[in-house]
Structure 1
Amino acid sequence: MHMKIYILLLTCMVVYACGKSSAPMGEDSTDEVPTPEEEAVTFTFDALERVGYFDAGLKFTVVAGHKNIRSRGVVYSTKENPTKSDEMSLAVSTTGSGSFEVGLDKLLEGKTYYVRPFAEKTSGTIFYGDQVTFETVSYPKPTVYLDSLTFLNQQTFETYWKMFYPWGTDHNGSARMYEDQVSLDGAGVLKIRADRTEVWEGYSTADPWLRIFYHSGAIHAKQQILVNDEKPYWVVSGDFQVPTMVGSWPAFWISGAWTWPPEIDIMEFKGNNTNWQNTVTGPNWQNTSWQTTKTVVENAGSWHNYKLIMYKTSATHVAAELYIDGQKKATHTGDFIGKPFWLIINMQMEGASGGHASGPQSTEMQARNIYLAAYDVIP
């Protein structure tokens, strides 16, 4: 009886062992089904929809391998065959599972870019398409008439600037302009000083014909400003430290070279810390229209930048964008096409700034980094 049980157990063990595996000793075995190879993603390039100085838009279509795509877009570089280790931009819009658009920004102007579409599957596999190229638009180069070097020394100053107003030494305040009130510090800074005088010097020869109480200074650029088809876009800017007490009237402005108006005041302080940016239009000095933007400038006695961008908008009119420290404060308009301007820096006194016959004993304004440039096209 015991012998029969032993034989039965031995038989069962042999049957079980043979049924569990038929693989040779030492080889691994598995019941997993092999994963099929992922279908490759392929693309077509559809269009370069836009290209500018610093941006571009492109359109592609996924034509095969649509399944399990979790992201798509492009990689790009100024070097050939970019990958995801270079710059990347994801699709901004998709149509179904096929076409998609991308937008590229912060590009460099006038550069060739290499672009490849890509798609990433949920598995993490990345597929790239064929490379395409485009070139950003080259930013127009300006003709620079004035820069920071024009105040460096007397020789460069005299090359680009003249003393006084274009029409003489007097204007609409109580100051008369003298050469010795204008100086250079040798490091690119111009200084204009106004000093009170009690010596009788008569009256200003300009309206409103105030009694002269000050010796001060004014300069104007030899280069005139003229917006036309040949030079439709102009930039005028400068850094200034100015006084703001009652009786002080510093200004950085352009005035009509043939008639008045036109006029644009880029920087004008009238006895306080409010900057006036004015544009004057009209058929003659008796019939004028003013556009005025006032901005309080904290600590105007420190350096601040004042800028005008003027460009052609029609056969007769311009837009005049006015800035302080890089922030646009206003856009004025004027019928200034074909009308030349003088660029003027001056320290007038009293008049519209108050303090008639009782202004400060002396005061000073400083200027640097005066910039005047024109473009052949509108950027």
Structure 2
Amino acid sequence: MHLLGAYSLLLAAASCASAVRTIIPKTSFDSQANFDADWAYNYPWGTDHNGGARMDKGQVKFSNGMATLTAKKVTGQKDATHGGKQIKINYLSGAISAKEHFTVARGGGYDFSGEFKATTAKGTWPAFWLTAVEGWPPEIDMAEWKGSGKISFNTFNTSSVLSWKDVNYATPDQFHSIKCEVRDINQRDVSVKFYMDGSLVTTQVGGNFFGKAMYLIINLQMEGSSGSPGPSSDTLYQVRNLEVLSYNP
């Protein structure tokens, strides 16, 4: 190879490397200060959503680089309201949301990854997901466990137009690595590649997701779509080595 050609390849490699930026580092759960730099407690819109748990910052703990969300059975809570319906609150639990909003730019995208220990018991609903900052959709469920013994990977283009893949989740008592690659396709749609334990599980398309800001949320919801009644003992959902990389220009 000519020296000029080798130099050009080195420049190209350097350019690609410089295009990758760490938005949330793997150290964000190392301390309260690190957490506060990248995360906030609860959902971006508050403490309630679509299940029987109300989020409470006291249910989120950090230790040795790991976040632990704990759902505990409670009584006496005021009902939640979602979709015009009243939902009985039977648990206090934990949710965290990234302070950064994630918008796929032309020729760019993101990698979202981490290691998760998530329950699949009836009435438990852990999730690792992206959802629209304004309006809805987009929504990408990068990992969702709905009390069925399976893990779900979903992309919502509308409430009735969606892609999903359910996979057996045989060892919920162990950590599993999850990675989701979101990339621009044509300045309108995005590709979504879902990986578990290093293997590609499925590839989906987010229609008209390009240029739309999304929240990143990690939460332990209960009951709702995961069935009821949920467990009477405490439920834990743990996350470590969480990282977000940007490939946006």
How far, CA to CA, are the matches of 2:173 and 2:149 in structure 1?
A: 9
- When Rg is computed on C-alpha atoms for both structures, the one with the higher figure is 1
Quote the residue 1:81 is aligned against: none
Quote the residue 2:152 is aligned against: 276
Q: Report 1:363-374 matches (<5 A).
A: 363-374=235-246
- CA drift at 1:376: 3.5
**Equivalent of 1:238, from 90, 114, 133?**
114
Q: Report 1:12-51 matches (<5 A).
A: none
Could you tell me which amino acid in structure 1 is paired with residue 96 of structure 2?
Answer: I
Number of aligned positions between the proteins: 239
- Secondary structure of 2:87's aligned partner: coil
Quote the residue 1:155 is aligned against: 33
Quote the residue 1:222 is aligned against: 99
- Per-residue CA deviations over 1:349-374 (Å, capped at 9, x if unaligned) read 01111123x53321101001111111
Q: Report 1:73-84 matches (<5 A).
A: none
- CA drift at 1:228: 1.6
How far, CA to CA, are the matches of 2:248 and 2:126 in structure 1?
A: 32
Normalised to the residue count of structure 1, the TM-score between the two structures is: 0.61
Quote the residue 1:47 is aligned against: none
How far, CA to CA, are the matches of 1:247 and 1:221 in structure 2?
A: 26
The RMSD of aligned alpha carbons is 1.5
Say if 1:261 and 1:288, in contact at 8 Å, map to a contact too: no
- CA drift at 1:202: 2.2
- CA drift at 1:326: 1.3
Q: Report 1:85-124 matches (<5 A).
A: none
- Could you tell which deviates more after superposition, 213-222 or 296-305? 296-305
Could you tell me which amino acid in structure 1 is paired with residue 132 of structure 2?
Answer: G
Quote the residue 1:296 is aligned against: 168
Deviation above 4 Å: which 4+ runs of structure 1?
none
- CA drift at 1:201: 1.2
- Secondary structure of 1:159's aligned partner: helix
Flag structure 1 segments of 5+ consecutive residues without an equivalent. 1-114, 116-131
Could you tell me which amino acid in structure 2 is paired with residue 259 of structure 1?
Answer: G
- Secondary structure of 1:235's aligned partner: strand
1:213 to 2:85 alignment? no
**Equivalent of 1:193, from 70, 81, 84?**
70
How far, CA to CA, are the matches of 2:108 and 2:205 in structure 1?
A: 14
**Equivalent of 1:248, from 124, 128, 152?**
124
Quote the residue 1:347 is aligned against: 220
Could you tell me which amino acid in structure 1 is paired with residue 212 of structure 2?
Answer: K
- CA drift at 1:233: 1.9
Flag structure 2 segments of 5+ consecutive residues without an equivalent. none
How far, CA to CA, are the matches of 2:244 and 2:136 in structure 1?
A: 21
How far, CA to CA, are the matches of 1:156 and 1:209 in structure 2?
A: 37
Q: Report 1:297-336 matches (<5 A).
A: 297-334=169-206, 335-336=208-209
Q: Report 1:107-186 matches (<5 A).
A: 132-133=2-3, 134-135=5-6, 136=9, 137-138=12-13, 139-141=16-18, 142-185=20-63
Say if 2:110 and 2:248, in contact at 8 Å, map to a contact too: no
How far, CA to CA, are the matches of 1:280 and 1:376 in structure 2?
A: 22
Identity of aligned residues (%): 32
How far, CA to CA, are the matches of 1:301 and 1:224 in structure 2?
A: 31
- CA drift at 1:265: 0.5
- Per-residue CA deviations over 1:303-334 (Å, capped at 9, x if unaligned) read 11111101111121111111111111111111
- CA drift at 1:255: 0.6
Cα gap change, 1:351 to 1:376, in 2 (>3 Å): closer
How far, CA to CA, are the matches of 2:29 and 2:164 in structure 1?
A: 30
How far, CA to CA, are the matches of 2:211 and 2:241 in structure 1?
A: 27
